[in-house]
Amino acid sequence: MEQATRRRTRRSRAVLAVVTAAALGVAGCDAVGGDSPAPSGTGARNSPSPKPTPVWDTSPESVAAVGDSITRGFDACAVLTDCPEVSWATGDSEKVDSLAVRLLGRAGAAERSWNYAVTGARMEDLPGQMARAVRHGPELVAVMAGANDACRATTSAMTPVADFRTDFEDALRTLREALPKAQVYVASVPDLKRLWSQGRTNELGKQVWKLGTCPSMLGDADALDAAATLRRETVQNRVEDYNEVLEEVCARDRRCRFDEGAVFEYRFGTEQLSRWDWFHPSVDGQAELAEIAYRTVTAKRP
C-alpha cells in the first residue's frame, strides 16, 4: 500500500514537471529579450524601411554658372565679344540648348539661371564668383575654370598646382557655408594641346594666335623643335594636373560631380572652334559642352 502511494506521488510530480515546463515554454515565446531574435512566425511583422532620399538630384530647379570666357560664350557670336546667350551653362539659344534649358525648360532657365563667369578669370577668381552666385540659392552650380591658369605668357607663369587646389577648395567652401545641399557640376579643363593640333591647320587661326592667344601653348605654332615640344608638353602636363585636382577635391564632396575628364577627352574638330580666334568654342562647341554637362548631371550614378 505504501509502495503504491509512493508510485502515485512520483507520477504526480512527473506530470507537474511536464506541465510546468510546457507553461514556461509558452511563456518564453512572449518573453524574448530586446537583443534576441523573435521566433519564426511569431510577433508583429516589421514594416519595410523607407527608401533613403538620393544625395544627388538629377533634376535641380535652378542653375548658376561660374568660370571663365568659355562659359561667357566669348568669341562665339562676334569677335572679342561675350555672347552669354550661347553659353553651354545658362544660354537661351536654341542652337545650343544649354544645361539650364535642358534642365529647366526655356522659360525656367530665363527665370532661374544666373551666369557669374568672367572672361579672363582664373581659378583664384572662383571664390568671389561663387560668393555672388550663392546669393540666388541655386540648387546646382556649374563650374568650368582652369584654362586661363595654363594659358599664360610663359610656362613659369602658370598657376602652381598647389595654389590651384587651394583656390578650388576655397570656392567649394564658400558654397558649402552658404548652401550645404547645393549640387556642383565640375567640367574638366579642355585639351589645349589638341586645340593647337587642330587650329594650326588654319593659316588665319595661326595669325590670330600671334596676337597673344594662349602663348604658353599656341605661341610659335609651327615650331617643332625640342624647346617648343617641351613647352607644349609642360602645359599639357599642367592641365592634366589641374584635372586631377578637380577630380580629387570634388570626390570629397557628396554633392559634387566631376565630368570624369569628358571635356578634356572630347575629340573636337575645327567646327567646334570659334572662327574668330580658333581657341574658344564656337556655337557648335558650346552645344557639345552642354550635352556633356547634361549627361553628367542627369546620370543616375556619377
All domains of the chain, ordered by start, with CATH? 63-298 (3.40.50.1110)
C-alpha cell of 179?
548652401
CB 249 within 8 A of CB 169: yes
Beta-sheet strand order (sheet of 140-144): 113-115, 63-67, 140-144, 183-186, 256-258
Q: Which of 56, 117, 55, 61 is nearest to 86 (CA)?
A: 117
According to DSSP, residue 201 is labeled T
pTM listed for this prediction: 0.82
Helix locations, the chain, DSSP H? 2-29, 69-72, 99-112, 126-133, 147-150, 161-178, 192-199, 203-209, 215-218, 226-251, 262-265, 283-298
C-alpha cell of 9?
506521488
- Specify the 3-state DSSP secondary structure of 50: coil
Rounded mean pLDDT, 181-185: 98
State pLDDT tens for residues 210-235. 999 999 999 999 999 999 999 999 99
State pLDDT tens for residues 116-170. 999 999 999 999 999 999 999 999 999 999 999 999 999 999 999 999 999 999 9
